[in-house]
Amino acid sequence: MKIKMLTGLSCLTSTGCLLVSSYLAELWFICWAVLGMIILWISFRKKPGIWPISIILIIYIVFAVAGLLLGLSPYLITIGCMAAMALWDLVLLNRNIVSEHLQPNVVLLEKLHLHALSIAIGLGLLLSILSLNIHLHLPFGLVVGLTILAAYGIFRGYKYLLK
């Protein structure tokens, strides 16, 4: 039950942020595109598999990037993108729970997943808002090195979790 409520909240937040920022900047084509995405979401909602919701997430991110390039509020776009990614994750979690028939373990699985998702969203929002307000000029080589180090850390963490 929590997943369906949070899915609706994430959907409203992501579309609301994009609509409000588009309205404030008077970019009407993005407003119409968001309405088209809502229609697409309604038609794809019951389709099996990962691709329908992934296509909607990609379309959302494309419109968010286009909006940023056209001068939309980066804060609203950041919050909207986080909500869209949470929506994607929650839809996939709900589909996995329904398809696997994990009734005895559903409550624990849902609780642990929502806990991890809330930590990821909180840290992601914190870091992205901080990066919007702090302007560092780092050499390209240092950025590449830090990216490789972060990717290596994620890879090692993933391998550790698989054990």
pLDDT at 103: 66
The pLDDT tens digits for 120-146 are 899 889 988 888 888 878 888 998 998
The pLDDT tens digits for 79-115 are 999 998 998 888 888 877 766 665 667 777 788 888 8
Whether pTM exceeds 0.85: no
Confidence of residue 40 (pLDDT cuts 50, 70, 90): confident
Higher per-residue pLDDT: 104 or 55: 55
CB atoms within 10 A of CB 7: 19
Retrieve residue 74's tokens: 């980066």
- Torsion angle of alpha carbons 69, 10, 79, 74, nearest 10°? 20
Residue 123: exposed, middle, or buried by beta-carbon count in 10 A (0-12, 13-18, 19+)?
A: exposed
Alpha-carbon Rg for the chain in angstroms: 18
Percent of the chain with pLDDT over 70: 91
pLDDT at 149: 92
What b/e sequence results for 41-63 when a residue is b if at least 16 CB atoms lie within 10 Å of its CB, and e otherwise?
A: beebeeeeeeebbeebbebbeeb
